Amino acid sequence: QIDYTGTEPSSPCNKCLNVSWDSAPPCTCTINFTLEHSFESNVFMYYGLSNFYQNHRRYVKSRDDSQLNGDNSSLLNPSKECEPYRTNEDKPIAPCGAIANSMFNDTLELYRIDNDTRTPITLIKKGIAWWTDKNVKFRNPTGDGNNLTALFQGTTKPVNWPKPVYMLDSEPDNNGFINEDFIVWMRTAALPTFRKLYRLIERKNNLQPTLQAGKYSLDIAYNYPVHSFDGRKRMILSTISWMGGKNPFLGIAYITVGSICFFLGVVLLIIHHKYGNRNTSADIPN
Protein backbone atom coordinates (compact mmCIF):
# COMPACT_ATOMS: atom_id res chain seq x y z
CA GLN A 1 0.00 0.00 0.00
CA ILE A 2 1.55 3.30 -1.15
CA ASP A 3 0.19 6.64 0.10
CA TYR A 4 0.89 9.30 -2.52
CA THR A 5 -1.22 12.18 -1.17
CA GLY A 6 1.90 14.30 -0.78
CA THR A 7 1.10 16.06 2.50
CA GLU A 8 4.60 15.33 3.85
CA PRO A 9 7.21 17.85 2.67
CA SER A 10 9.61 14.99 1.87
CA SER A 11 7.12 13.25 -0.43
CA PRO A 12 7.86 13.38 -4.19
CA CYS A 13 4.17 14.28 -4.72
CA ASN A 14 4.23 17.26 -2.35
CA LYS A 15 4.64 19.59 -5.33
CA CYS A 16 1.27 18.35 -6.65
CA LEU A 17 -0.64 18.82 -3.40
CA ASN A 18 -2.66 21.86 -4.50
CA VAL A 19 -3.35 20.66 -8.04
CA SER A 20 -6.63 21.75 -9.64
CA TRP A 21 -9.04 19.74 -11.79
CA ASP A 22 -8.03 21.51 -15.00
CA SER A 23 -4.26 21.64 -14.51
CA ALA A 24 -2.52 21.45 -17.89
CA PRO A 25 -0.17 19.74 -18.19
CA PRO A 26 -0.93 17.49 -15.19
CA CYS A 27 1.49 17.39 -12.30
CA THR A 28 3.57 14.20 -12.29
CA CYS A 29 5.54 12.49 -9.55
CA THR A 30 7.30 9.14 -9.00
CA ILE A 31 7.43 7.05 -5.84
CA ASN A 32 9.94 4.22 -5.50
CA PHE A 33 9.17 1.25 -3.28
CA THR A 34 10.31 -2.32 -2.62
CA LEU A 35 8.30 -5.52 -2.57
CA GLU A 36 9.67 -7.73 0.21
CA HIS A 37 7.81 -10.82 -1.06
CA SER A 38 6.81 -11.99 -4.52
CA PHE A 39 3.20 -11.92 -5.67
CA GLU A 40 2.58 -15.40 -7.08
CA SER A 41 -0.95 -15.21 -8.48
CA ASN A 42 -2.89 -12.54 -10.36
CA VAL A 43 -2.45 -9.08 -8.84
CA PHE A 44 -5.17 -6.49 -8.42
CA MET A 45 -4.25 -2.81 -8.38
CA TYR A 46 -6.64 -0.55 -6.46
CA TYR A 47 -6.79 3.17 -5.80
CA GLY A 48 -7.95 4.16 -2.33
CA LEU A 49 -9.51 7.36 -1.01
CA SER A 50 -10.04 8.48 2.57
CA ASN A 51 -12.44 11.04 4.04
CA PHE A 52 -14.51 10.95 0.84
CA TYR A 53 -18.21 10.51 1.64
CA GLN A 54 -19.69 8.77 -1.37
CA ASN A 55 -22.49 7.61 0.94
CA HIS A 56 -23.98 11.12 1.36
CA ARG A 57 -27.70 10.98 0.53
CA ARG A 58 -27.73 13.83 -1.98
CA TYR A 59 -24.52 12.58 -3.59
CA VAL A 60 -25.88 9.04 -4.06
CA LYS A 61 -29.09 10.36 -5.67
CA SER A 62 -27.24 12.73 -8.01
CA ARG A 63 -27.38 10.59 -11.16
CA ASP A 64 -29.76 9.62 -13.96
CA ASP A 65 -29.91 5.84 -14.41
CA SER A 66 -32.03 6.17 -17.54
CA GLN A 67 -29.38 8.35 -19.14
CA LEU A 68 -26.64 5.92 -18.15
CA ASN A 69 -28.67 3.08 -19.65
CA GLY A 70 -28.55 4.75 -23.06
CA ASP A 71 -32.02 6.31 -23.16
CA ASN A 72 -31.85 8.95 -25.88
CA SER A 73 -34.53 11.20 -24.38
CA SER A 74 -32.78 11.25 -20.97
CA LEU A 75 -29.50 12.05 -22.70
CA LEU A 76 -30.81 15.47 -23.76
CA ASN A 77 -33.16 15.94 -20.81
CA PRO A 78 -31.45 14.62 -17.67
CA SER A 79 -33.23 14.04 -14.39
CA LYS A 80 -33.59 16.97 -11.99
CA GLU A 81 -31.87 14.81 -9.38
CA CYS A 82 -28.62 15.75 -11.13
CA GLU A 83 -28.85 19.40 -10.10
CA PRO A 84 -26.62 21.43 -9.93
CA TYR A 85 -24.70 19.24 -12.39
CA ARG A 86 -27.61 18.81 -14.82
CA THR A 87 -26.75 21.46 -17.40
CA ASN A 88 -23.81 23.71 -18.22
CA GLU A 89 -23.94 26.65 -20.61
CA ASP A 90 -27.52 25.67 -21.55
CA LYS A 91 -26.42 22.21 -22.66
CA PRO A 92 -27.30 18.95 -20.86
CA ILE A 93 -24.37 17.29 -19.12
CA ALA A 94 -23.60 13.70 -20.08
CA PRO A 95 -23.13 11.98 -17.72
CA CYS A 96 -24.94 14.27 -15.31
CA GLY A 97 -24.77 14.39 -11.53
CA ALA A 98 -22.28 14.84 -8.70
CA ILE A 99 -21.02 11.24 -8.77
CA ALA A 100 -19.89 11.45 -12.40
CA ASN A 101 -18.57 14.99 -11.94
CA SER A 102 -16.19 13.84 -9.18
CA MET A 103 -14.82 10.81 -11.05
CA PHE A 104 -11.31 9.74 -10.03
CA ASN A 105 -8.88 10.63 -12.83
CA ASP A 106 -5.31 10.04 -11.60
CA THR A 107 -3.22 7.93 -13.97
CA LEU A 108 -1.03 5.24 -12.37
CA GLU A 109 1.79 3.37 -14.11
CA LEU A 110 3.94 0.66 -12.55
CA TYR A 111 7.58 -0.16 -13.42
CA ARG A 112 10.03 -2.79 -12.23
CA ILE A 113 13.57 -1.53 -11.59
CA ASP A 114 16.35 -3.99 -12.39
CA ASN A 115 19.95 -2.73 -12.58
CA ASP A 116 18.71 0.86 -13.05
CA THR A 117 16.55 -0.28 -15.98
CA ARG A 118 12.82 0.43 -15.75
CA THR A 119 10.56 -2.22 -17.26
CA PRO A 120 6.84 -1.33 -17.53
CA ILE A 121 4.34 -3.70 -15.94
CA THR A 122 1.37 -4.49 -18.19
CA LEU A 123 -1.81 -3.18 -16.57
CA ILE A 124 -5.11 -4.53 -17.92
CA LYS A 125 -7.96 -2.01 -17.90
CA LYS A 126 -10.79 -4.38 -18.92
CA GLY A 127 -12.57 -6.86 -16.69
CA ILE A 128 -12.54 -4.58 -13.64
CA ALA A 129 -16.28 -3.81 -13.59
CA TRP A 130 -19.17 -6.08 -12.60
CA TRP A 131 -20.61 -7.99 -15.56
CA THR A 132 -24.15 -6.80 -14.80
CA ASP A 133 -22.99 -3.17 -14.73
CA LYS A 134 -21.05 -3.45 -17.97
CA ASN A 135 -23.72 -5.32 -19.93
CA VAL A 136 -27.02 -4.34 -18.31
CA LYS A 137 -27.01 -1.12 -16.27
CA PHE A 138 -24.69 0.97 -18.46
CA ARG A 139 -25.30 1.35 -22.18
CA ASN A 140 -24.34 3.93 -24.77
CA PRO A 141 -27.02 5.80 -26.73
CA THR A 142 -28.02 4.16 -29.98
CA GLY A 143 -28.38 5.64 -33.43
CA ASP A 144 -27.26 5.46 -37.03
CA GLY A 145 -23.65 4.32 -37.33
CA ASN A 146 -23.12 4.17 -33.53
CA ASN A 147 -20.63 7.05 -33.83
CA LEU A 148 -20.29 8.21 -30.23
CA THR A 149 -19.21 11.73 -31.20
CA ALA A 150 -22.42 12.13 -33.20
CA LEU A 151 -24.60 10.38 -30.63
CA PHE A 152 -23.45 12.70 -27.84
CA GLN A 153 -23.86 15.80 -30.00
CA GLY A 154 -25.80 18.50 -28.20
CA THR A 155 -24.43 17.52 -24.78
CA THR A 156 -21.47 18.80 -22.82
CA LYS A 157 -18.93 17.19 -20.50
CA PRO A 158 -19.13 17.31 -16.68
CA VAL A 159 -17.66 20.49 -15.25
CA ASN A 160 -14.58 18.86 -13.69
CA TRP A 161 -13.76 16.57 -16.60
CA PRO A 162 -10.89 17.47 -18.95
CA LYS A 163 -12.55 15.70 -21.91
CA PRO A 164 -16.02 14.46 -22.88
CA VAL A 165 -17.33 10.99 -22.11
CA TYR A 166 -16.91 9.73 -25.68
CA MET A 167 -13.15 10.33 -25.42
CA LEU A 168 -12.48 8.27 -22.28
CA ASP A 169 -10.85 5.49 -24.32
CA SER A 170 -9.77 4.78 -27.88
CA GLU A 171 -11.37 1.32 -27.90
CA PRO A 172 -15.08 1.36 -28.87
CA ASP A 173 -16.06 -1.37 -26.39
CA ASN A 174 -14.56 0.61 -23.50
CA ASN A 175 -15.72 4.11 -24.35
CA GLY A 176 -18.59 6.35 -23.36
CA PHE A 177 -20.95 5.16 -20.65
CA ILE A 178 -19.50 1.61 -20.84
CA ASN A 179 -15.98 2.73 -19.91
CA GLU A 180 -15.02 0.43 -17.05
CA ASP A 181 -13.14 3.05 -15.02
CA PHE A 182 -16.30 5.16 -15.13
CA ILE A 183 -18.55 2.20 -14.22
CA VAL A 184 -16.36 1.28 -11.23
CA TRP A 185 -16.49 4.86 -9.94
CA MET A 186 -20.28 5.07 -10.30
CA ARG A 187 -20.77 2.16 -7.86
CA THR A 188 -20.69 4.30 -4.72
CA ALA A 189 -18.86 3.17 -1.58
CA ALA A 190 -20.62 2.63 1.75
CA LEU A 191 -17.83 4.08 3.93
CA PRO A 192 -15.71 7.26 3.70
CA THR A 193 -12.51 5.21 3.43
CA PHE A 194 -12.69 2.89 0.46
CA ARG A 195 -10.78 1.40 -2.44
CA LYS A 196 -11.83 0.67 -6.01
CA LEU A 197 -10.32 -1.68 -8.56
CA TYR A 198 -8.10 0.19 -11.01
CA ARG A 199 -6.16 -2.40 -13.04
CA LEU A 200 -5.37 -6.11 -13.29
CA ILE A 201 -1.93 -7.70 -13.55
CA GLU A 202 -2.25 -11.20 -14.94
CA ARG A 203 0.24 -13.98 -14.35
CA LYS A 204 1.98 -14.85 -17.62
CA ASN A 205 3.21 -18.35 -16.74
CA ASN A 206 3.56 -20.74 -13.84
CA LEU A 207 7.35 -20.61 -13.76
CA GLN A 208 7.68 -17.03 -12.52
CA PRO A 209 5.64 -14.98 -10.04
CA THR A 210 3.43 -12.18 -11.32
CA LEU A 211 5.46 -9.56 -9.43
CA GLN A 212 8.89 -10.61 -8.23
CA ALA A 213 10.33 -9.29 -5.00
CA GLY A 214 12.50 -6.27 -5.68
CA LYS A 215 12.42 -2.59 -6.51
CA TYR A 216 9.53 -0.88 -8.26
CA SER A 217 8.44 2.64 -9.11
CA LEU A 218 4.97 4.14 -9.36
CA ASP A 219 4.52 6.97 -11.88
CA ILE A 220 1.55 9.19 -11.09
CA ALA A 221 -0.21 11.78 -13.21
CA TYR A 222 -1.63 13.70 -10.26
CA ASN A 223 -4.98 15.15 -11.37
CA TYR A 224 -7.34 14.45 -8.49
CA PRO A 225 -7.36 17.08 -5.70
CA VAL A 226 -8.06 15.79 -2.17
CA HIS A 227 -6.16 18.25 0.04
CA SER A 228 -9.09 20.69 0.24
CA PHE A 229 -11.21 18.18 2.23
CA ASP A 230 -8.29 16.57 4.13
CA GLY A 231 -8.53 13.43 2.04
CA ARG A 232 -5.79 10.95 1.25
CA LYS A 233 -4.94 8.87 -1.80
CA ARG A 234 -3.17 5.54 -2.00
CA MET A 235 -2.33 2.74 -4.40
CA ILE A 236 -2.86 -0.84 -3.24
CA LEU A 237 -1.51 -4.08 -4.68
CA SER A 238 -3.32 -7.21 -3.57
CA THR A 239 -3.82 -10.86 -4.52
CA ILE A 240 -6.69 -13.24 -3.82
CA SER A 241 -6.82 -16.70 -2.26
CA TRP A 242 -9.45 -19.44 -2.55
CA MET A 243 -11.48 -17.43 -0.03
CA GLY A 244 -11.35 -14.25 -2.16
CA GLY A 245 -9.61 -10.93 -1.69
CA LYS A 246 -8.34 -9.52 1.57
CA ASN A 247 -10.94 -7.28 3.20
CA PRO A 248 -10.73 -6.83 6.99
CA PHE A 249 -14.04 -4.95 7.25
CA LEU A 250 -16.30 -8.02 7.22
CA GLY A 251 -14.12 -9.84 9.74
CA ILE A 252 -14.13 -6.87 12.11
CA ALA A 253 -17.89 -6.43 11.67
CA TYR A 254 -18.62 -10.11 12.36
CA ILE A 255 -16.40 -10.18 15.46
CA THR A 256 -17.96 -6.96 16.80
CA VAL A 257 -21.56 -8.07 16.25
CA GLY A 258 -20.79 -11.56 17.59
CA SER A 259 -19.21 -10.11 20.74
CA ILE A 260 -22.23 -7.87 21.35
CA CYS A 261 -24.60 -10.83 20.89
CA PHE A 262 -22.53 -12.99 23.28
CA PHE A 263 -22.50 -10.23 25.91
CA LEU A 264 -26.27 -9.72 25.64
CA GLY A 265 -26.78 -13.48 25.82
CA VAL A 266 -24.82 -13.69 29.08
CA VAL A 267 -26.73 -10.73 30.55
CA LEU A 268 -30.11 -12.22 29.59
CA LEU A 269 -29.06 -15.64 30.98
CA ILE A 270 -28.17 -14.06 34.34
CA ILE A 271 -31.47 -12.17 34.41
CA HIS A 272 -33.42 -15.30 33.55
CA HIS A 273 -31.56 -17.37 36.16
CA LYS A 274 -32.11 -14.77 38.86
CA TYR A 275 -35.67 -13.70 38.15
CA GLY A 276 -37.15 -16.18 35.69
CA ASN A 277 -38.22 -18.90 38.18
CA ARG A 278 -39.81 -16.55 40.68
CA ASN A 279 -43.47 -17.39 41.32
CA THR A 280 -45.36 -14.18 40.88
CA SER A 281 -48.88 -15.63 41.37
CA ALA A 282 -50.52 -14.78 44.68
CA ASP A 283 -52.48 -17.32 46.69
CA ILE A 284 -56.11 -16.29 46.82
CA PRO A 285 -57.89 -17.52 49.99
CA ASN A 286 -61.23 -19.21 49.66
Residue 221: closest CA among 32, 33, 31: 31
Per-residue pLDDT of the chain (286 residues; tens, 9 = 90+): 999 999 999 999 999 988 877 777 889 999 999 999 999 889 999 999 999 999 999 999 999 999 999 999 999 999 999 999 999 989 999 999 999 999 999 999 999 999 889 999 999 999 999 999 999 999 999 887 678 999 999 999 999 998 999 999 999 899 999 999 999 999 999 999 999 999 999 988 877 889 999 999 999 999 999 998 999 999 999 987 666 666 677 788 999 999 999 999 999 999 988 887 665 555 555 5
CA distance 57 to 207: 49
Give the three-class secondary structure for 165: helix
Tell me the residue type at 177.
F
CA distance 60 to 81: 10
Question: In sequence order, which residues have a C-beta less than 8 Å from that of residue 45 and are 6 or more positions away?
Answer: 108, 110, 123, 197, 198, 199, 200, 201, 235, 236, 237
Q: How long, in residues, is the chain?
A: 286
How high is the pLDDT of residue 208? 84
CA distance 194 to 135: 25
How distant, in Å, are the alpha carbons of 82, 89, 137, 241 from that of 165?
16, 17, 17, 36
How high is the pLDDT of residue 243? 61
pTM across the whole model: 0.83
